[in-house]
Structure 1
Amino acid sequence: MTEQRAELPRAQWHSFFEMLTKDYEGADVTVEVLDRAFGDQLEAAKLPLAYLEYDEKDDCFSVGLGGRDSKYPVVLRHAVTRPRRILTTSSIPGTPWALDIEDEDGTQTLVTLHLRPEIR
């Protein structure tokens, strides 16, 4: 029972994040930035997912958190411009699922989904 990391092909980024948003909307998400110049930064901890997206035209990955109810009325948006690769983990049920987005400068953004959607 180990996690497997796999690189997501660029051609699948847009559709993959649309599907993931539908499946995980409202799940708790943590966003961390690992930067050589500024060090490791926790940007958001366990806020509800609004969306994950990749804009091919602008070459930008974005994660939006909050904005769905009065508890979190504003969307926090974190953007990674010109991502060069995205790694994903597939893990055992009940454990966090994560994305590792690396930009052209080597800065990594870690997006962790803490809750799995309910089986319908």
Structure 2
Amino acid sequence: MSVSKLQKEAWHPYFDAMSRMLTGKTAEIAVDSLKLGHQIEAEWLPLYGLVYDPKSDVFEVVMEGLDHMIRHPQEVYIDIDATGLNSVEVVDEDDVHQIISLRSPLMLPQSLH
């Protein structure tokens, strides 16, 4: 397992390229903060896209029946190992950690590692 931080200028192109490969993937969203504790926002729903819009400064998780918006994200981490992408963690301006975990790893081309 290797967790790495993505630089903000890479968010839009990285997730644009990666979202094209999500067909058939399911994911869970967990929200963690000191104020809220640990909560499951979505449990194993089909995942359609992960998108960062730099103009509105919003990171969007598009799932079946859910459009989860993270406003003013500050940091993004990806967890990749030999089997592929396992999770994405987005930290917002209020230090709320939103972890998108894939049920099965997403194989990524070397250019997205």
Q: TM-score, normalised by structure 1?
A: 0.82
- What is the aligned residue count? 108
Distance in structure 1 (CA, Å) of the matches to 2:45 and 2:53: 22
Q: Which runs of 4+ in 1 moved over 2 A?
A: 115-118
Which position in structure 1 is the counterpart of 2:78? 88
Which position in structure 2 is the counterpart of 1:69? none
Q: Deviations over 1:35-91 (max 9, x none)?
A: 22111110111111111100101101010101xxxxxxxx30111111111010111
Give the residue type in structure 2 aligned to 1:5.
V
- Between Structure 1 and Structure 2, whose CA radius of gyration is higher? 1
Distance in structure 2 (CA, Å) of the matches to 1:56 and 1:34: 24
Indicate the percent of aligned positions where both proteins have the same amino acid: 25
Which position in structure 2 is the counterpart of 1:109? 98
Q: Which runs of 5+ in 2 are unaligned?
A: 108-113
Offset of residue 24 of structure 1: 1.5
Is the strand fraction higher in 1 or 2? 2
Q: TM-score, normalised by structure 2?
A: 0.86
